[in-house]
């Protein structure tokens, strides 16, 4: 599993480094919109990649804790806490922007 995560992270980094940046052709509203769209698309892709890895790790922790301690009736609370942590992280990044 960790090999797959490492390979996916490497592909994301390689893709981000090799993708050309958008440059404006002239000073029009259409060009500003295109630049904004490209910028937000990259942020959206990065956020989706983070969320995919995050929730995979949460499920792995859930299964690990549930099998080891046999607390299936209580361990589902981990998903509620993970959702709250995800929203806190998204809020922090939104404030930084």
Range scoring the smallest mean pLDDT among 3-7, 16-20, 68-72: 16-20
User: Once rounded to an integer, what is the mean pLDDT over residues 58-70?
Assistant: 95
- Mean pLDDT over all residues of the chain? 86
Rg, Å, the chain Cα set:
19
Give the pLDDT confidence score for residue 22 in this predicted structure: 64
Mean pLDDT score, 4-30: 78
pLDDT band with cut points at 50, 70 and 90 for residue 23? low
Residue for token pair 């769209």 = 37
Six token digits for residue 64: 């690990």
Query: With contact defined as beta carbons under 8 Å apart, do 56 and 43 qualify?
Result: no
E strand map for 1-97: none
């Amino acid at each position: 599993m960790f090999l797959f995560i490492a390979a996916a992270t490497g592909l994301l980094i390689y893709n981000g480094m090799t993708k050309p940046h958008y440059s404006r052709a002239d000073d029009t509203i259409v060009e500003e919109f295109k630049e904004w769209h490209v910028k937000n698309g990259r942020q959206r892709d990065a956020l989706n990649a983070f969320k995919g890895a995050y929730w995979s790790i949460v499920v792995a922790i859930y299964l690990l804790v549930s099998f080891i301690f046999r607390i299936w009736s209580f361990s589902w609370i981990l998903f509620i806490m993970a959702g709250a942590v995800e929203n806190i992280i998204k809020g922090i990044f939104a404030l930084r922007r």
